[in-house]
Each structure stands twice: as structure tokens, then as C-alpha cells.
Amino acid sequence: MAILTLGKKMGAVISTGIILCLLPFFVCAEEKTLQLYEHKIKAGLVYNLLKYTTWSKESPAQTSGKLQICLFGEDPFDGYLSPLKGRTAQQALISITHINKVENTTGCSVVIIHRDQEKNLSALLQFLQNKNVLTISDIAQFAQRGGMVEMSKEDEKINLYINKNAVNHAGLNIQEPMLKLAKIVAS
């Protein structure tokens, strides 16, 4: 009887050990799923920003009929922006390119800055200052630091922060439907 009880306890210990060993894999899988869901939501917000942002008549989006999204650094959306290629917004054809130098932003209508490029942020924002280019990032305090649209995750929710001063100085106009979703900040 004692051997049987010991065998059951040993089995329970082994089972618990296996579960504890596998638990990080389940947690990581769930975290990755939530992260992909977050990227999908942010990509949808980018598309809506494109639809509800007006560029000046002199901008590349207006003169060439092409709305160039430039990803500065890594793709912060894990490829979820790809379905936007070939679609239209503001009567312009959307294209997407990757860039890694501040000088390569010429011709961009939108620059989406990955958080790994924070070290280049001030140089990039200074280069783009007063240019007809919408800047978007999930870098902390991006809008307060002079960027235009910050997407941040807080309490399992994606929040938009829009710096209207930066938007206006660039000759852009973000329309009311997007402004209603955002918190307006000053730099």
C-alpha cells in the first residue's frame, strides 16, 4: 500500500514538473498571439489615418498619385501593412518601402518609425520638420517629443496620441473621425 501511495505521489510530482516545464511555451504562444493582434489593430489604424489625412497639393502623394509608406527600421507591424500595398487612400496608390537612413525619407508621405530607431529620432524629426510627411511611431512620448501620431499600448488597449501642432506645421490635416479616437497632445 505504501508503495502504491508513493507511486501516485511520484506520478503527481512528475506531472506537475512537466506542466511547469511546458507552461512558458503556452504563455509565450499566448503572448505572441496577443502581440500579432496588436500589430493587426495598429495596421488598421494606419490605414484609417491614411484615409483621414489630407496632404498639401505639393506633396508627393498629390503630385505623383502615390502614397509612399516608409518603414524606418524594422517593420513594427510584422507584415500586417502588406495588404495595404496597391490599395488607395486620398486618391493615391499606397506603396510600402523599408528605409534605414534619414536622407532616404525623401518621397515618403508617411514615415513609420520602429522603436529600435529611438537613437535616430531627434535627427529624423528635425530632418522632416515642416515637410509634408506624416510621422507615426510607438516610441514612448513620441507625440510629446515632436512626432505626429503615437500608438501606445496601455492597459491592453491601443491609444492614439496626436500632436496637432506638428501635424499643422507639416501642412497636413488629420480629419475629425481620427481626432475623435485620439488624445491631443502638445510638443
Question: Taking the model in full, what pTM does it have?
Answer: 0.80
Looking at domain 43-185, its CATH class is alpha beta
Among 19-23, 78-82, 124-128, 183-187, name the one with the lowest average pLDDT: 19-23
Cell numbers given for 168 = 499643422
Q: Where are the domains of the chain?
A: 43-185
Bridge partners (DSSP) listed for residue 184: 162
pLDDT tens per residue across span 150-183: 999 888 889 999 999 999 999 999 999 999 999 9
DSSP assigned state of 104: G
Count CA atoms within 13 Å of residue 60 on its CB side. 18
More confident call, 71 vs 21? 71
Higher pLDDT: 156 or 5? It is 156
Pairing of strands 149-154, 134-137: parallel
Average of per-residue pLDDT values in the chain: 83
pLDDT tens-digit map of 101-143: 999 998 999 999 999 999 999 999 999 998 999 999 999 999 9
Residue 52: helix, strand or coil by DSSP? coil
pLDDT category of residue 35 using cuts at 50, 70 and 90: low
pLDDT of residue 18: 42
CB 72 within 8 A of CB 117: yes
- Find residue 94's DSSP bridge partners: 67
The cell numbers describing 123, all together, are 535627427
pLDDT at 164: 96
Encoded amino acid at 129, one letter: Q
Amino acid in position 123: A
**How far is residue 90's CA from residue 68's CA, in Å, rounded to a whole number?**
12
Q: Report the candidate in 153, 154, 155 with the shortest Cα–Cα distance to residue 137.
A: 153
Among residues of the chain, what percentage have pLDDT more than 70? 79
